[in-house]
Amino acid sequence: MTPVYGSSGPRRLAGFVLACAMAVPTSCRGDVPPEPRLAAETASAFARYLEQAEARNAGELRAGTPVFWIDGLPEKDRAAAYAALKRGEVKLRQLEVRDAAGKKLECPHGMIHHWAGVIFIPDANLEDALGLLEDYNQHAKYYSPDVERSQIETHDGDHFRVMMRFRRHKVVTVVLNTEQDINYFRDSPTRAHSRSSAVRIVQVENAGRKDERERPEGDDDGFLWRMETWWRMD
């Protein structure tokens, strides 16, 4: 996150992220595992999980639940967490939602990663934070090398449609083209939140070459099939 500076007092920016159902190839005969495919039951399981996550998030917004989960920590841990944020660190924790009966929601043939993160931008106000987040045409510069391309396709008020290309290199290099549908909401003069859904995710083969091509949705190596994101700004 690139620092932003404004003229008013300090503000905090919290990002709550529910990200991705990822493939876990099942074993098969022989040494070579089958290529992952997005199965109907995997997509349905993610949809059920998303429904519960949406309900919880909406309930927290209605109730005015404190934005920052670190505020619920014991005093000593809370002080340490805020000190870390002021040093520029990102505070993360893994989340999980369950069904109405408290039962864990399984995702056959896939994994759901659900994380919450908090960052602090010194000397920035809400408008500064929103200006940075909504500056999608510059996200490839702000978030390089993970974001390789970013372009606003349509923009109407607080609604954006954005194309983003992600590149991730660990043992192998993975390039994904995504289309994001994003809405922003002003909750008060000092608070806002946003909701983003990746309505299209496709893996790119031979990225940057003449024979570059997109693989069919869900018929790929299973690195990322779904991505849902919530941001809250205070």
Report how many domains make up the chain.
1
- Report the pLDDT value the prediction gives residue 70, as an integer from 0 to 100: 85
Reference 12, options 76, 94, 71; nearest CA is: 71
Structural domain contains residue 16? yes
Structural domain contains residue 206? yes
Q: Which segment, 73-82, 175-184, 215-224, is predicted with the most confidence on average?
A: 175-184
In tens, the pLDDT along 144-165 reads 999 999 999 999 999 999 999 9
Average predicted confidence (pLDDT) for the chain: 83
Structural domain contains residue 188? yes
Reference 160, options 137, 189, 191, 140; nearest CA is: 137
Q: Quick check: 224 and 177 in contact, CB under 8 A?
A: no
In tens, the pLDDT along 168-202 reads 988 889 999 999 999 999 999 988 999 999 999 99
Give the residue-averaged pLDDT of 103-118.
88
* CA neighbours closer than 13 Å in the CB half-sphere of residue 2: 14
Structural domain contains residue 6? no
Structural domain contains residue 99? yes
Tell me the whole-structure pTM to 2 decimals. Answer: 0.83
Structural domain contains residue 69? yes
Structural domain contains residue 2? no
| 82: containing domain | 11-233
- Partnered with residue 195 across adjacent β-strands are 183, 230
Structural domain contains residue 1? no
